[in-house]
Amino acid sequence: MITVLPVWLGLDVGTTGVRCLAVDEELRVVASSYAEAPPVHAPDGRVEQDPWEWVEASCHVIGDVVDEAGPSSVQALGISSQGISLIPVDRRGAPIRHAISWLDERGAHVMDDLAARVDPADVVARTGKPWSGVYTLPKIMWMRRFEPENYERVGAFLQPMDWLHLCFVGEAVTDRTLASASMAASLEDGLWDRDLLDALEIDSDLFPKIRQSGTEAGVLRREIGERLGVGTIPVRVGGQDQKLAAMVAGIGPDVATLCLGTSGALEVRAEAPLPWGGPLFSFLEPGQWVREAAIPTAGAAHRWFVRTVLAGESYDLSDELAAVEPAADAPLFFPRLSDPSEHGWPHAPGGVMWGLGLGTNRADLARCVYEGVAFEVGDRWRRMGAEAETLRVFGGGARSEPWCRVIASVLGRPVERLHVAEASALGAAVSAGAPRMPLTSREVLPDESVMAWEEERFEHWRLIAARLDGG
């Protein structure tokens, strides 16, 4: 007799692709699949995506994982997704236009209009979001002003997880973390801020129902279940990708988390919904909040270095070079390789290597790239007032022990490297019902021989950063 062991599926809809994992009762990954689904960037700063591409990519990766894990073993599906991206659908649930990506800049064009209707300071205090056009609410205001014919057709304003719930179970459902990403939800209770929406003359019924992460969104539609070979399994509410990743990584009063992927995201638990100058999110449970700080080009800066300076030779080589004893006069790196406008450096000239000399070699450059990202993490850590004793790191960059050691030396505290890179998909699987348990990690301690030197360089880096930003 063959014993069929249960598995749970975690689907993560990221910025450039979709990943699905199947995990067992020990939270081990037994199957995995990834499909590219990148947005389209226009020269004018607009970034959009066909919502149906997320559906097709999701079905593809789920199908791959089910084929490998066995359809009879699948217990449930959980979904995580990027936040802030706006998908307007009509009253029949069909997309009215392409999704407006979280990377899109057009919301900035209506912030003056928004400020004429509501007090910016009050909105920041109510929602926990900095006054920025990046969020869903300004995108909605942009749509009402510049696409009134589309706006009049709207039946619901959705984000990617909500959209997949609509397609998979027939009802658009969200959770507190994604609602909080919109700039339209109250920090106090994690629900839609009806007073704010009324002031903007936006019908709050156009937003999806908010349910607790881990509760059932519905059962998989028969036609989808037949296509995937899993039948009508439960689909449970997940959440915003970084929040689910932080949850599964064990975020708490003494533990902060860092996603060291293409971009970086530092998450720190907050005991009260008090604005701090950066994004504050409702967390998975009522009465929980998380401070978040982005490092826009973390792994992307590393990839740029390997591709250009090392001519694509290998990531292992960059680790070997970065592990070499650093030169006293090594250059400083400012990894601002993406558009700075939404990331706190409005006047920055782009990425900078400061202090290059004729004696600078590849090891110096590798070290300063790792260090530059570590300094960005340290800068956010200070601004957030983080006091956690440990930082848990996941994502592709967590595979690099030298990089994690540099971060530990800059922060002056241990870094724990999680064994799994795809923490968001893993968090989605946990929300689907997979047992929640501590993840295997490896501790990386600060290098005490360079801590004083790193502290001095960090202060120098911060002074130059302020000059680059016009301060």
Question: Which of 83, 77, 82 minimizes the C-alpha distance to 21?
Answer: 77
pTM of the model: 0.91
* Per-residue pLDDT tens digits of the chain, which is 471 residues long: 456 789 999 999 998 899 999 999 999 999 999 999 999 988 888 999 999 999 999 999 999 999 999 888 999 999 999 999 999 999 999 999 999 999 888 999 999 999 999 999 999 999 999 999 999 999 999 999 999 999 999 999 999 999 999 999 999 999 999 999 999 999 999 999 999 999 999 999 999 999 999 999 999 999 999 999 898 999 999 999 999 999 999 999 999 999 998 888 999 999 888 888 899 999 988 889 999 998 888 888 999 999 999 987 788 899 999 988 888 889 999 998 765 444 444 445 578 899 999 999 999 999 999 999 999 999 999 999 898 999 999 988 999 999 999 999 999 999 999 988 899 999 999 999 999 888 888 999 999 999 999 999 999 999 999 888 775
Domain extents for the chain? 7-242, 250-468
CATH topology of domain 7-242: Nucleotidyltransferase; domain 5 (3.30.420)
Distance CA 445, CA 182 (A): 38
The string of DSSP letters for 396-438 reads GGGG-HHHHHHHHHHHTS-EEEES-S-HHHHHHHHHHTPPP-P
Question: Which of 50, 51, 265 minimizes the C-alpha distance to 177?
Answer: 265
Residues 6+ apart with CB under 8 A from 236: 76, 77, 78, 214, 215, 216, 217, 431, 432, 433
7-242 shares its CATH topology with 250-468: yes
Q: Which two tokens stand for residue 452?
A: 């004083």
Whether domain 250-468 has CATH 3.40.50.2300: no
